[in-house]
Amino acid sequence: GEDVEQSLFLSVREGDSSVINCTYTDSSSTYLYWYKQEPGAGLQLLTYIFSNMDMKQDQRLTVLLNKKDKHLSLRIADTQTGDSAIYFCAEFTGTASKLTFGTGTRLQVTL
Amino acid sequence: SQTIHQWPATLVQPVGSPLSLECTVEGTSNPNLYWYRQAAGRGLQLLFYSVGIGQISSEVPQNLSASRPQDRQFILSSKKLLLSDSGFYLCAWSDRDSFTDTQYFGPGTRLTVL
C-alpha cells in the first residue's frame, strides 16, 4: 500500500531543534522528499534523499532515513520563527510512478 | 530557470457556475504536469496528471476536468461548481527526463464556492 503518515502538530521554541517524523509503507520507494508550505502559498521543495542513503545534510536541515523501519525524519537545527509552516513528506514509488504525500505536520515556533 | 504560474490567485464563485483555472510553466519543455487540491490547509489530493499534450489521467472521479492544449499549459475546469469544490488548487510540474519525479509547485489558487 501507499500510506504516508505524519504527526499533525509540533511546537518548538526558537533556537531549539525540530524533528518532524514520517512513516511510509511502500518498500519500493526510491526517493523521499520534504516540502515546506507557508500560509497561503504553494509547496516549496526543501530536500530529498535517495533510498540507498541513510542521511543527508543541507545547512540547517538533516534528513535521516531508516529504510528497515520505513521511517523518515527532518531535523531543523536552530529553529527560527520563519520555519513556522506545514511540512510534507512524500515518497516516489517506481511502481506507481507518482509522488504520494503525507498529511503534513504543522510546525509552530514560539519565542 | 523554470517558473510556474497559476491564475487567478483567488476566486469566489457561486454554486453551479463554471470554472477555469490556468497553469503555465516557463523554462522547460515536455514537462509532466499535475493538478492537486488541498482542503482545509492540509493533505494533498492528486486530481489529474499529464505526460503530454492532450494526454490526461484522472485520479479521482468528480465534476472536474483537465486539459492540456499546449505543451506548457494545463487547465482545470468545471461546468458546474459544487460547494465541495472549495479548496486550494495547486499545479505542479516535473521533468519527464529526470529519474526522480521531483515536483515543483505553483503558488496556488484559492477557490471559494458559495
pLDDT tens-digit map of A31-72: 899 999 999 899 999 999 998 899 999 999 999 999 999 999
C-alpha cell at A24: 511510509
**pLDDT for the residue B1:** 86
State residue A95's pLDDT score: 61
Chain B closest-CA separation from residue A29 CA (Å): 11
Q: What is the mean pLDDT of chain B?
A: 92
Residues 39-98 in B contacting A (C-alpha not used; CB under 8 Å): 41-44, 46, 49, 90, 92
Longest dimension (CA), chain A: 44
| Cis upstream peptide for B8 (omega within 30°) | yes
- What does the pLDDT read at residue A72? 95
- pLDDT confidence bin for B7, thresholds 50/70/90: very high
**Cβ proximity of B78 and B43 under 8 Å:** no
* Position A105 pLDDT exceeds 50: yes
If pLDDT is split at 50, 70 and 90, which confidence band does B88 have? very high
Which DSSP letter does residue B72 get? T
CA distance B111 to chain A (A): 12
Q: What is the mean pLDDT of chain A?
A: 91
The mean per-residue pLDDT over the stretch A2-27 comes to 91
CB–CB contact A43 B90 (8 Å): yes
> Using 50, 70 and 90 to split pLDDT, how confident is the model at A94?
low
**CB nearest to B108's CB, from A33, A41, A102:** A41
Q: For residue B95, which residues of chain A lie inside 8 Å, CB to CB?
A: none
A107 touches chain B (CB under 8 A): no
Query: For residues A3 and A23, what is the distance between their CA atoms, to the nearest angstrom?
Result: 8
Does the pLDDT of residue A1 top 70, yes or no? Answer: no
CA distance B77 to B96: 24
pLDDT at B69 exceeding the cut of 60: yes
Q: Does the beta-carbon distance from B41 to A97 stay under 8 Å?
A: no
Question: What residues of chain A, 61 to 100, have a C-beta less than 8 Å from chain B?
Answer: 86, 88, 92, 97-99
pLDDT, position B100: 74
Name the maximum alpha-carbon separation found in chain B: 42
Q: Which of B4-8, B39-43, B60-64, B75-79 has the lowest mean pLDDT?
A: B39-43
pLDDT-derived band of residue B22, with 50, 70 and 90 as boundaries?
very high
